[in-house]
């Protein structure tokens, strides 16, 4: 039997379903949001940009390979607002996906705390599941 520290290799699927009540970064109009996802800084994936909305719906799925014995169990995400020159950060968070590695899919809303965590910059709806090799 596996110890609590050993991970079976496989594929982690993360679906970025939608976001709601994203904090407005632009002085005029709404955000042009997209989400960056990563387990490791060297391999980031991202959703498409959606124009002029603070309540985007992406329904995009991303896959990450998990090596057998890996100790990685946190997914990092950053929500950004695409501007003509660069991007503004709306918020960021991390999600512990250990439950998915144990065979229980995760369907959750992840809050994007503001500085000092005193208010919210919105939240992102994720569905995470793991398929062992």
Instruction: Please identify every stretch of the chain with a pLDDT value under 50, giving residue numbers as ranges.
Output: 1-4
Residues near 24 by beta carbon (within 8 Å), at least 6 away in sequence: 30, 31, 54
pLDDT at 43: 92
Which among 86, 80, 88 is positioned nearest to 27, based on CA atoms? Answer: 88
pLDDT at 88: 92
Phi/psi of residue 98, nearest 5 degrees: -55, -40
The pLDDT tens digits for 54-79 are 999 999 999 999 999 999 999 999 99
Domains and CATH numbers, the chain: 10-132 (2.60.40.150)
pTM of the predicted protein model: 0.92
pLDDT at 114: 83
Edge-to-edge strand list for the sheet holding 106-113:
57-66, 10-20, 120-132, 106-113
């Amino acid at each position: 039997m596996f110890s609590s520290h050993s991970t079976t290799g496989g594929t982690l699927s993360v679906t970025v379903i939608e976001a709601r009540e994203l904090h407005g970064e632009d002085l005029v109009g709404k955000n042009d949001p997209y989400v960056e996802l990563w387990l490791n800084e060297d391999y980031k994936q991202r959703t498409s940009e959606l124009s002029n909305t603070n309540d985007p719906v992406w329904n995009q799925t991303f896959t990450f390979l998990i090596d057998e014995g890996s100790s990685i169990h946190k997914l990092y995400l950053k929500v950004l607002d695409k501007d003509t020159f660069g991007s503004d950060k709306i918020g960021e968070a991390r999600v512990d996906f250990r439950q998915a590695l144990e065979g229980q899919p995760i369907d959750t809303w992840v809050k994007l705390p503001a500085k000092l965590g005193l208010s919210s910059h919105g939240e992102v709806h994720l569905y995470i599941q793991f398929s062992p090799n």
